[in-house]
C-alpha cells in the first residue's frame, strides 16, 4: 500500500521532468526584458525629438511637474501640423507652371491662406517674407469694367 501511495505522491507532487516548470524570476530581469532600446521618438514612432521637447518643457517651468507623455503628445501634434503645411505647399508647388522645386516662404503663405483649416488656425500669424494673398476688391473690378465699356462707347460716337 505504501508503494502505491508513494508513486501517486510522486506523480502529483513532482511533475514529469520534461514538462516545463515556471521558475521565479527577479523583478530586475523582467523589467530589462520589457524595456525597448532606442530614443523616445523611436518608441513613439515620431520624427520630432520627444526628449528635447520634454527637456524644454521642464526647463521653461510651465508647471512644477511635467508628465513624460506630455512631450510625446506635443511632438505628435507639432509633427502633424508640419506635415499638413508641407503637404499643402507641395500641392501648390505641383500646380505651379515654373520649373522651381523649392518651397519658399511665399509658397507656404499661399498654401496656408488657401487651405480653410490651416487658414483658420494661422489667421493671426505673419510669415516672414511671405507676402499677401492677391485679392482685388469687387468694387474696383466693377469700376475697371465700366471704364473699359465707357471708353469703347466714347470711341464709337463721333466727336464734334
For range 30-53, the mean pLDDT: 82
pLDDT of 89 > 70? The answer is yes
| pTM, to two decimals | 0.61
The rounded distance, in Å, linking the Cα atoms of 26 and 9 is 30
Q: Alpha carbon of 80 to those of 46, 48, 55, 83, 121: distances in Å?
A: 10, 10, 21, 5, 13
Provide the pLDDT for residue 49: 96
pLDDT of 53 > 80? The answer is yes
Higher-pLDDT residue of 44, 31: 44
Amino acid at each position: 500500500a505504501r508503494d502505491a501511495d508513494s508513486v501517486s505522491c510522486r506523480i502529483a507532487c513532482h511533475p514529469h521532468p520534461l514538462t516545463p516548470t515556471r521558475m521565479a524570476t527577479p523583478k530586475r530581469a523582467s523589467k530589462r526584458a520589457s524595456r525597448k532600446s532606442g530614443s523616445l521618438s523611436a518608441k513613439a514612432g515620431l520624427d520630432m525629438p520627444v526628449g528635447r521637447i520634454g527637456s524644454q518643457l521642464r526647463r521653461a517651468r510651465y508647471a512644477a511637474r511635467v508628465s513624460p507623455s506630455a512631450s510625446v503628445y506635443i511632438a505628435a501634434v507639432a509633427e502633424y501640423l508640419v506635415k499638413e503645411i508641407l503637404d499643402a505647399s507641395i500641392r501648390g508647388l505641383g500646380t505651379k507652371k515654373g520649373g522651381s522645386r523649392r518651397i519658399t516662404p511665399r509658397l507656404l503663405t499661399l498654401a496656408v491662406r488657401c487651405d480653410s483649416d490651416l487658414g483658420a488656425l494661422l489667421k493671426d500669424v505673419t510669415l516672414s517674407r511671405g507676402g499677401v494673398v492677391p485679392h482685388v476688391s469687387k468694387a474696383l473690378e466693377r469700376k475697371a469694367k465700366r471704364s473699359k465699356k465707357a471708353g469703347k462707347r466714347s470711341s464709337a460716337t463721333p466727336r464734334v
